[in-house]
């Protein structure tokens, strides 16, 4: 299957606690969409503070606390304009269900820079890296991944590590034994 990729990515910074390189975030989203083999995407990323994400979390998810990332999947459908009868799963049989290969996706991602600042300090890597992890995590939700079960969570973290690993980053998770300095572990 040959994919023609068409991406529209909008990054907005609606907070002043952390200087955000919106162009770098847009490039990272574009790269992640390519890795996931998404055919077409319209993605909006908004960087906010804890008060703003708390309001959204309460309004849309009935959770009365700030969080790292909220994502809204607006569309997820297969692109079928190449005349190929093979589904993405048939083209890539090793891919887990929910992979967005060949899909058209649209979604909104809201991330908290304030949450990233707080978490990064505890974890021991940069707030920029933590914020990027949140963006990639939200994007993977839009691409059809979930993290509600241990198996799904492991798949999502594997995808996060693969995507961020290409940028020399190893995401830090407080509840596992990954490197806590945000760099690749070279001990092999």
pLDDT of amino acid 79 = 66
| pLDDT tens, position by position, 51-110 | 999 999 999 999 999 999 999 999 888 765 544 544 444 444 444 444 678 889 999 999
CATH architecture of 6-81+96-165: 3-Layer(aba) Sandwich (3.40)
pLDDT bin (cut points 50, 70, 90) of residue 23 is: very high
pTM for the full model? 0.83
* Token pair listed for 159: 């995808």
Domain ranges across the chain: 6-81+96-165
Q: Are 10 and 45 in contact (CB under 8 A)?
A: yes
Identify the pLDDT of residue 176. 57
Q: By CB neighbour count within 10 A (0-12 exposed, 13-18 middle, 19+ buried), where does 143 fall?
A: buried
């Amino acid at each position: 299957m040959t994919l023609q990729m068409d991406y529209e990515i909008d990054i907005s910074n609606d907070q002043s606690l952390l200087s955000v390189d919106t162009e770098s975030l847009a490039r990272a989203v574009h790269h992640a969409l390519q890795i996931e083999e998404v055919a077409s995407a319209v993605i909006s990323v908004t960087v906010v503070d804890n008060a703003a994400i708390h309001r959204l979390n309460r309004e849309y998810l009935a959770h009365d606390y700030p969080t790292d990332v909220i994502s809204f999947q607006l569309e997820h459908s297969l692109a079928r304009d190449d005349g190929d009868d093979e589904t993405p799963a048939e083209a890539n049989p090793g891919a887990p269900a929910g992979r967005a290969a060949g899909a058209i996706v649209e979604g909104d991602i809201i991330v908290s820079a304030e949450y990233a600042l707080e978490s990064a300090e505890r974890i021991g890597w940069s707030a920029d890296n933590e914020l990027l992890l949140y963006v990639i995590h939200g994007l993977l939700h839009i691409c059809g991944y979930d993290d509600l079960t241990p198996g799904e969570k492991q798949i999502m973290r594997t995808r996060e590590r693969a995507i961020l690993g290409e940028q020399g980053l190893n995401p830090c998770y407080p509840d596992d034994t990954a490197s806590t300095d945000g760099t690749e572990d070279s001990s092999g």
